[in-house]
Structure 1
Amino acid sequence: MSMSVQGVAPRVTSVGDLCCSPILQAPLQSGDALALAGALKVLADPARLRLLSLIRAADDGRATTRVLADQVGLTQPTVTHHLGALFDAGFLDRERAGRQTWYSVNTDGLRAIQQLLDPTPVGTVES
């Protein structure tokens, strides 16, 4: 991960880079806390959450910027900005087909965040 322009928090390049244990099982190191906060900041936007849900619910689990812009009532450049942030953070995959770019949800990225926030150890069933 590289430092941001302000030098405060590392830019999240992929949630796969978040390698710490779940936050309720062990103390976070400062670098891990910055990386996790960066990933959560990307998700802490209502438009981005809506875009994720619309893509996941779309036919074949993928959608284009144009279709998404129509669904959320935002301009295509604004939607492109949000999709870029979600892609950069590892929450989306994208595939170019001619002049169109198709986005799909990277479930591994979302699962990584879920596992970091889940206090239940992997393989354990809570009663």
Structure 2
Amino acid sequence: MPRALPVIDMSAPVCCAPVAAGPMTDDDALNVALRLKALADPARVKLMSHLFASEAGEQNGGELAAALGLTESTVSHHLTQLRKAGLVLSERRGMNMFHRTHLEALKALCAVLDPSCCR
């Protein structure tokens, strides 16, 4: 059975020197790797794609499940992993959870991987 991702600090996007800047500390490497691991699943990449493409900027789990042809529980599992990695923000409104991408976290991850990508 795969191990769950450890919970990482979602309050701030990944913050460290770019990978190309030289050797990283173990903690910085772990923070980057955990975020990349959260994205290393085709269903999660598709979820992120649908969230980015959403006209409203957010979608609820039922809408995402229907769009991807997955069960709501499977979508919920994947969104939980993305949320633990700090890549998705979720908000409960009544009986529904609405999800959107955490743009600052994604931009910071891109900048760590390639410092010239987000300029």
Which bracket does the TM-score occupy, shorter chain normalised?
0.7 to 0.9
Identity %: 36
> May I ask how many residue pairs the two structures share in their alignment?
116
TM norm structure 1 = 0.81
Q: Point out where structure 1 has 5 or more consecutive residues left out of the alignment.
A: 1-5
Is the 1:64–1:102 contact (alpha carbons within 8 Å) kept by the matching residues of 2? yes
Tell me which residue corresponds to 1:113.
109
Question: RMSD in angstroms over aligned alpha carbons?
Answer: 2.2
- For residue 89 of structure 2, what is the aligned residue in structure 1? 93
TM-score, structure 2 length as denominator?
Answer: 0.86
Mapped partners of 2:98, 2:117: distance in 1: 35
- 2:110 and 2:118 in contact (8 A); partners too: no
Question: Could you tell me which residue of structure 1 aligns to residue 42 of structure 2?
Answer: 46
2:79 counterpart (78, 83, 96): 83
Larger Rg belongs to: 1
What residue ranges of structure 2 are gaps of 5+ in the alignment? Answer: none
Q: Is the 1:94–1:102 contact (alpha carbons within 8 Å) kept by the matching residues of 2?
A: yes
Q: Note closer, same or farther for the CA distance 1:15–1:117 as it changes in structure 2 (3 Å cut).
A: farther
1:46-104 deviations in Å (ceiling 9; x for gaps): 10011011011112110010010011111111100001111111111111110011101
SS where residue 14 of structure 1 aligns? coil
Q: Which has the bigger relative contact order, CA under 8 A and spacing at least 6?
A: 2
Question: 2:48, 2:117 → 1: CA distance?
Answer: 26
Alpha-carbon distance between aligned partners in 2 of 1:90 and 1:75, rounded to the nearest angstrom: 23
CA distance in 2, matches of 1:42, 1:30: 18
Q: For the Cα contact (< 8 Å) 1:93–1:106, is it kept in 2? A: yes
Do 2:52 and 2:101's aligned partners in 1 also have CA atoms closer than 8 Å?
Answer: yes
